[in-house]
Structure 1
Amino acid sequence: MVNRTNILLIMTDQQRGDCLGIEGHPVLLTPNMDSIAGRGVRFDKCYSTCPVCIPARRSLLSGQYPDTHGIVGYYQQAEWETSLSLPNALKEVGYHTYLVGRDMHQYPQNKRYGYDHIVGYSAYNEWLNSQLSYNTYEPFGSYYASGVMHNDRSARPWPYEESLHYTNWTVNEAHRFLQNRDPACPYFLTVSFLAPHPPLVPPAFYMERYIRTGVPDPVIGQWAKSPLTNGKGSPIDAANVCLSGEELLSCRAAYYGLINHIDDQLSRLLRIVEAMDMDNTVILFTSDHGEMLGDHYLYRKSVPYEPSVRVPLLISAPQRYGIKSGLVISKPVSLEDIMPTILDIVGVEIPDTVEGSSLLPLMREEEISWRSFIHIEHGEGTVDFQPHHTLTDGTEKYIWFVQNGEEQFFDLRTDPQECQNLIDSKNHEDTIARWRKKLITKLEDRPEHFSDGTKLICNRPYPTYIKRT
């Protein structure tokens, strides 16, 4: 039976799984994000199965893995049928479905994918220009007027008043919805932030805070390769970087500052939810993928390493759901599990098209069988990285690079920062062979013919869109 529980989905863009105070981050402050985990559950092994925005968000909306919905990399032109999307499934049982802030980056851009209404970037940009006393409109929109762009490692403070920042506006629009919505029906509100995705332009207070505290140095594995000339002369949006000195400090300070800024604005959002109906509201917090941030000489996402693929997943729910506060679950979960979890919580039948699994039994600490690993992938892209297939259970990770057949293996229990590639270790031969066999089986029926059932086949074409017939 469908119940009337409100659902608040809070989503950042490009936030690493370790960028939470409750994860033990050495400088970053996230008390409001942490409070969601403190009231509910933190999944510390949640993975983005294709760590770039379009496929990750489609997986969240559909509950399907990338090779099923077809987008296995950064591909913008594939429209899809949304009759079984998460917001549509909720709308059909009487929910008011609403999204504010960063859209879900699907094609075409103005398609609502089951949301009754989306108030996104174009509305923000129009509002921002109306607030400025002079015309600063740029071809990319005023949010980019500083010159720092959407994949840059360069950083600087937000050039306008803090109240004009996209993050503040997103929370303002969430307030507007909560205050004006129809109270006769439950809501599914998605509050979607563009930050900490570049441009790295936090309000000055937040950038200065992490300039003052300092930032951790990048983690550099023994296998990692520095760019030529230490990156001097490389494009500002290069994927292979060597961050050091002022560039390192400002880049990381701005990234942390954007997250801290979101967290402070979440206080405004959570307070109004608490005042209105916290006892009947489920809150989920997650991100679409992470950010390498200079670790292993890498920047941006797409690659198979923890900073890129592991994301936060925090869920709090009313007491009637029987979930213990402060629970930490380390089973391998993914963004595909969010749709079935929400539908399970509100009592809606989960469509057969959904491949993820409801997390509600895990949150109730019920004894159930669970998947043994997560499959992560990314096809050929426009940035300088190798397409890959990756398997992990959160304690071990096996990586196979498609173009040249190179392999990596990491023991995340003893080496959580992936500094030692154990692929040639005699002590791990049997374990690696088991993981390799799992990937051979996993890829056997793929149209790219990565596997013949007995071995992996490298140097196969790996486009970012699988056309299903």
Structure 2
Amino acid sequence: MRPNVLLITVDQMRADCLHFLGHPVIETPNLDNLARTGVAYTSAYTATPSCVPARAAILTGMSQQNHGRVGYEDKVPWSYEHTMPGEFAKAGYHTQCVGKMHVYPTRNLCGFHNIVLHDGYMHYNRDRSRSTANEWWDQTDDYISWLKERAGSQQDIMDHGLDCNASTVARPWHLEEALHPTNWAVTQSIDFLRRRDPSKPFFLWTSFVRPHAPLDPPQAFLDLYDGIDLPEPPIGDWARLDDPDRDGLNPTTGRGIVNKRMRQKSLAAYYALITHIDNQIGRLMNALYEFGVSNDTIILFTSDHGDLMGDHLLYKKILAYEGSAKVPLILNDPTGKLGLVRGKQVDRIVELRDIMPTLLEASDVPIPTTVDGSSIIPLGTHAGTSEWRTYIHGEHAYGELSYHYLTDGKVKYFWYSQTGEEQLFDLQVDPQELCNLVKSAERAELLNCWKDRLILELTGREEGYTDGVSLIVGMTPQSCLQHLRTAAASHPVAGR
């Protein structure tokens, strides 16, 4: 029988927040062990670092140009012909998602047989003035119904007063640990192992909402980081050092000056949420053993994007600096059928679109022709592969800060499409992106090489970013490309 597949994703976890990669503070023993006995891909990125487009890449295996989501926009229907769970289901797998999907309509199965849903705080279906009754949070979110049954009908996950996008404020979880969304995701995943069809292999996606804000770890995990020295944020020579509008006083800001004590507390809570997830992953690993499937379940762990957490006085995600765009990615194969080298670290550039073809290949399931990604399995073997992409192109519509970026994991080039600002970083000697090399005469040839690559990537794009010879500043960015809007319009949502 084909192997079982467990995809574990977290939301907003930086690539550097893993002990086995040398982080000086964080504790991640279960993830360390998955890497020790599997393969870690140390140059893994998300092309479009926010939840919706990143998850489109995971679910479809497409580049952002083809899945059409090049910025963050809710309520655009998902109507893709081929999805990873859909292909597993067609191949005879029992498929289940637990946790965050962040698709539309909210309960769109996207090819799964079933979902047990918790997307976190979703603004559009918490706002009852903008949503229909069948979109309201308490009608669509399984975790909220579960929580009210166990903790009381008046309980809400937002009762602690934190905001779902607050990267600068933190406090302990206000209920017992077993009721935390992280514990719930594993509880429901274990329940799927109990009730799955044993005659079929399974594809289970355990999708955690944390360490995305609110920064609300259980007290026991917050205590692990209380009173210890935490890393200071890198501040690049290009960073804006003033805060004339006092944006740092807004807990949901994307930038600004935050007092050191507040930042230290929020960073401690962020690390604590990751350690809490790691602890619960250990619980899930125990369940795989108890159900007798630990030796024939391939596991892939990753995040949809990171969090800048004060790097360069920036917070949250979207801007594709390393803290935001670079993600952890571990592939573990206890079956041995994939030929992975235990403990290997791969520095070739990989992207979230590679997850679908990787897991389908690992399971001998055909890969649809719509997939743009490539299986990363060969990179983790003794033989490796000489044929691999040179770089990736990423982007995000973000108002005046809309940008495109290119990286091969060793060099990164930015072009801000509304201002024409450029940045060039040598990640091999400057992994924290402290020094912008755009004005370095010695790097002029390198800069022009990367600019030419971006022109090639953007040639023919509907926004008109280039005429094929030069980059054109000030063209209106789109959060969704027209082909996606056309497809969405042909699949109207019932009742809308």
By the TM > 0.5 criterion, same fold? yes
1:126 is aligned to 2:145:
yes
When residues 344 and 227 of structure 1 are mapped into structure 2, their CA distance, relative to the original with a 3 A threshold, is same
Equivalence for 1:248:
263
When residues 163 and 446 of structure 1 are mapped into structure 2, their CA distance, relative to the original with a 3 A threshold, is same
What is the CA RMSD across the aligned residues, in angstroms?
1.4
Within a 5 Å distance, the mapping from 1:298-377 to structure 2 comes to 298-317=314-333, 318-364=335-381, 365-377=383-395
Measured in 1, the distance between the counterparts of 2:281 and 2:6 equals 12
- The residue type paired with residue 437 of structure 1 is D
Query: Which range moved further: 54-63 or 357-366?
Result: 357-366
When residues 422 and 254 of structure 1 are mapped into structure 2, their CA distance, relative to the original with a 3 A threshold, is same
Local SS of the residue matching 1:320: coil
Local SS of the residue matching 1:212: coil
Measured in 1, the distance between the counterparts of 2:59 and 2:173 equals 31
How much does 1:274 deviate?
Answer: 3.0
Local SS of the residue matching 1:226: coil
Local SS of the residue matching 2:75: coil
Equivalence for 2:108:
111
Measured in 1, the distance between the counterparts of 2:261 and 2:376 equals 43
Local SS of the residue matching 1:35: helix
Local SS of the residue matching 1:331: coil
Local SS of the residue matching 1:304: coil
Conserved? CA contact 1:305–1:418, under 8 Å: yes
When residues 224 and 166 of structure 1 are mapped into structure 2, their CA distance, relative to the original with a 3 A threshold, is same
Local SS of the residue matching 1:28: coil
Local SS of the residue matching 1:284: strand
Conserved? CA contact 1:54–1:105, under 8 Å: yes
Within a 5 Å distance, the mapping from 1:1-400 to structure 2 comes to 4-102=2-100, 104-121=101-118, 122-133=141-152, 135-137=153-155, 142-152=156-166, 153-229=168-244, 231=246, 234-275=249-290, 276-317=292-333, 318-364=335-381, 365-381=383-399, 386-400=401-415
Structure 1, gaps ≥5 residues long: none
- The residue type paired with residue 468 of structure 2 is G
Measured in 2, the distance between the counterparts of 1:99 and 1:336 equals 18
Measured in 2, the distance between the counterparts of 1:67 and 1:346 equals 27
Identity of aligned residues (%): 40
Deviations for 1:262-316, whole angstroms, at most 9, x for unmatched residues?
Answer: 0011111011213422221100000000000000010000002000000010001
Conserved? CA contact 2:78–2:105, under 8 Å: no
- The residue type paired with residue 342 of structure 1 is L
Local SS of the residue matching 1:264: helix
Measured in 1, the distance between the counterparts of 2:414 and 2:48 equals 14
How much does 1:229 deviate?
Answer: 4.6
Deviations for 1:189-230, whole angstroms, at most 9, x for unmatched residues?
Answer: 000100000000000111122123232111111110134258
Measured in 2, the distance between the counterparts of 1:459 and 1:233 equals 28
Local SS of the residue matching 2:9: strand
Measured in 2, the distance between the counterparts of 1:201 and 1:274 equals 30
How much does 1:351 deviate?
Answer: 0.7
Measured in 1, the distance between the counterparts of 2:342 and 2:476 equals 47
How much does 1:124 deviate?
Answer: 1.1
Measured in 1, the distance between the counterparts of 2:283 and 2:414 equals 42
Aligned residues: 458
- The residue type paired with residue 102 of structure 2 is H
When residues 452 and 48 of structure 1 are mapped into structure 2, their CA distance, relative to the original with a 3 A threshold, is same
Conserved? CA contact 1:136–1:145, under 8 Å: no
- The residue type paired with residue 84 of structure 2 is L
Conserved? CA contact 1:79–1:106, under 8 Å: yes
When residues 234 and 246 of structure 1 are mapped into structure 2, their CA distance, relative to the original with a 3 A threshold, is closer
How much does 1:117 deviate?
Answer: 0.7
Structure 2, gaps ≥5 residues long: 119-140, 487-496
Deviations for 1:12-49, whole angstroms, at most 9, x for unmatched residues?
Answer: 00000001111111111001011111111000000001
- The residue type paired with residue 124 of structure 1 is Y
Local SS of the residue matching 1:190: strand
Deviations for 1:117-156, whole angstroms, at most 9, x for unmatched residues?
Answer: 11112211111122225x434xxxx111111011012110
Local SS of the residue matching 1:213: coil
Measured in 1, the distance between the counterparts of 2:270 and 2:439 equals 36
Measured in 2, the distance between the counterparts of 1:380 and 1:169 equals 33
- The residue type paired with residue 44 of structure 2 is C
